[in-house]
Amino acid sequence: MALRQEETPTNAIAAELRKGLRSLAKAVVVITTSKGGQRFAMTATAVSELSMDPPSMLICVNKSASMHPALADGADFCINILKGEQGDIAACCSGKASGDARFSEGEWLKSSLGAPYLADAQAAFVCRQASHATYGTHSVFIGEVVEAHTSTPYDPLVYIDGRYTRVQPA
């Protein structure tokens, strides 16, 4: 069903957008940060590369997320791309646990900027926060990558149609 904004209330467009985005497969990441001795973690898919010069990434975080105030105050962050077998970490950081209990799964190390990173992540990008902007319910945070940790073979955890899955080898 095609919807046009002038013909449809905003909530109907949002419902169709949400429905359409269920078909967009995305790597599952856990975003982490630290502020005032407190660690924060959340599972996300609203993450993207931004530039290779300078190397940078962006993340989108709901203003209601517990980590949002720390990020809004300028905290640096890490983007941890999960491996196919790390669904337990994704679940733990998406609401199964809260606060520091979100770090109970996996081996977490402290980056040079203080943001935790997952030792055996598919990849982990430690970012120095460079900028942020707020739009609607979310804020977009841009970070310059200062550390990159990667591993092979490639087997990322993927989220599509409301579930976690893995990419089948070709």
Question: pLDDT tens across 50-77, in order?
Answer: 999 999 999 999 999 999 999 999 999 9
Question: pLDDT tens across 82-128, in order?
Answer: 999 999 999 999 988 899 999 999 999 999 999 999 999 999 999 99
Give exposure, 49-59, as e/b (b: 16+ Cβ within 10 Å): eeeeeeebbbb
Give the predicted TM-score (pTM) of the model. 0.91
In order, the DSSP letters of 35-74 are ETTEEEEEEE--EEEEEETTEEEEEEEETTSTTHHHHHTT
* Tokens 């990667």 sit on residue: 150
Domains of the chain: 26-159 (2.30.110.10)
Q: How far apart are CA 133 and CA 162, in angstroms?
A: 27
